[in-house]
Amino acid sequence: MIQLHTPKASRNQETGRLSFMGSVSPAGVRFRDRGGEGDGTSRRVPGTFSVVPAPMMQTVRRCLLVTSATLASLALTAPAPLAAPSPSPSPAASGSPTASGSPSASPSVTPPAGMSSVGGTRLGQAGTQVAIAGGAPVLPKDLTARSWIVADAESGDVLAAHNAHWRLPPASTMKMLFADTVLPRFPKATVHKVAPADLAGMGSGSSLVGIKEGESYTVHDLWLGVFLRSGNDAVHVLSAMNGGVTETVRQMNEHAEELQALDTHVVSPDGYDAPRQVSSAYDLTLFARSGLQKADFREYCSTVTAKFPGETRKNKKGKTTRGTFEIQNTNRLLSGDYDISQYPGIAGVKNGNTTNAGATFTGVAERNGKVLLVTVMNPEKTDHNEVYKETAALLDWGFQAAGKVTPVGELVAPKNTAQASAQPGANPSSSEDSGQAGGAGDVSAKPVAGAVTEDGSGGMWIALAVAGGLLVLLAGGGYLVNRRWPLPDLVRRRR
């Protein structure tokens, strides 16, 4: 596979796949594992879990839920509502938001002393954050990435992190946010004929899938180009369909804010190096977790190889024909390479590599009933496939450490999750495949403020009576929201 070395090129040369994910790879295609010895990079072993059971709630999580429910009930009786504190963004520093709220031109070579505290105060601290208890393995040696994070995809617990909120150039891992934002807007069977304007504005040296002007492609084809080949041409065509690059960037920034990914500032939807375009390991993990709620997102990011439409040509007899060519996923933990094998249980999600960002990668994998998300940004070590090797090492550690370490933070839910879960049968992820009823049902659909009496007493006694009944329901609702984030079918083992 050709690696581009043009300055500012989007050199996305990474690959992998979760064993429980579906795939759109052509039937009958087989891939051999290539090289590697030892746990985590050895040849694939058969999976043993057809369905990953929802994890048991830890005692501390139960306490937090009950505490939250208690506080919520007390708030109902207060004379004035208590506003929840908003997430604190990184301070104005190099690589952090400026006074105007926009990222600075480029990140510093060292993490700022104070970073965002979204997900927990420890995640805003520089350096490695981990709380190893008895029997837990030590972190892998020789980790050189500027930033990384290991999180439980289902519970949202952050098991360990290193400069999790450091704002860095994301490269094509930004395409996860692009897909999570735009993918639901067009049915996959929609056909689009590419106009010259659709491909305008791509950066020099961009990674391409090979889209041609004047040819027609389905939305399904275009998303395969985005996920497998990290094609900036496919991103620009989809952006054109979505109202243009400027509108798509606006939507992506809006969606990032909704996900509470406050380290992120989008300038280019494809992740191509651009001034002031930044994200963080924490935010990229939020994007992956949100995207994996969508069946199509899971399908595309776990696909190893596919057929892509070629050019329309006329043969010697004057008959018009259009062939196809094969494209392979550039996620090396999914497809393997000469110096690294497919990672057991891998299911995506996205890789990137640019001049400013270096190598970046977010991966999701399942093993023995655990689903982990790992993001690695810009390893200093320049060995071939280093970003995948460090990701594999962190995944191995995470699977061994699960249940043996105290979480140092959490992956927060989107802002609208609580509101959506309060509606009857609502789906907090806005995905078509939730498969569960909405958390607390209609318990909080109607405001208790309706109990306020005409004399202004606030209906305290009515509120207290209602609060007693709400206490258990709110705690139960919180539990359901936790269990369905991500959705149960995310952990369906690939057969």
Per the annotation, the verdict on 444 as an active-site residue is no
User: 85 is written with which tokens?
Assistant: 């504190």
* 175: annotated active-site residue: yes
CA distance linking residue 169 with residue 107, whole number of Å: 8
Nearest to 63 by CA among 485, 479, 428: 479
Which H or E run contains 145?
A: strand 145-152
Sign of CA dihedral 363, 366, 370, 371: positive
Q: Which residue in 10, 175, 206, 239 is the catalytic one?
A: 175
* Active-site residue identified among 23, 172, 290, 341: 172
| CB-based contact 96:88 (threshold 8 Å) | no
Give the integer Cα–Cα distance in Å for 399 and 140.
13
Spatial distance between the Cα atoms of 307 and 25, rounded to a whole number of angstroms? 8
The rounded distance, in Å, linking the Cα atoms of 349 and 331 is 8
- Please give the structure tokens belonging to residue 20: 């429980």
Which residue's entry shows tokens 């400069």?
163
Give the span between the Cα atoms of 129 and 148, in whole angstroms.
10
- Cβ atoms within 10 Å, residue 436: 14
* Tokens 């985005």 found at: 226
CB 244 within 8 A of CB 321: no
Q: What is each CA distance from 105 to 6, 166, 171, 273, 356, in whole angstroms?
A: 21, 14, 15, 11, 12
Give the C-alpha distances (Å, rounded to integers) separating 309 from 24, 219, 326, 454, 470.
15, 12, 9, 69, 56
Q: Is 204 a catalytic site residue? A: no
Q: Which of 73, 116, 230, 239 is catalytic?
A: 230
**Crossing angle (nearest 10°) for helices 175-182 and 219-228:** 160
**Residue 411 class from Cβ within 10 Å (0-12 exposed, 13-18 middle, 19+ buried)?**
buried
Sign of CA dihedral 176, 413, 395, 126: positive
Helix (H, G, I), strand (E, B) or coil at 87: coil
Q: Which two tokens stand for residue 31?
A: 């891939």
CB atoms closer than 10 angstroms to residue 322:
11
What's the half-sphere exposure (Cβ side, CA atoms, 13 Å) at 65? 19
Exposed e or buried b for every residue in 33-46, given b needs 16+ CB within 10 A?
eeebeeebbeebee
CA 9 to chain centre: 23
* Through-space distance between the first and last CA atoms of the chain, rounded to whole angstroms: 29
Please identify every residue annotated as catalytic.
172, 175, 230
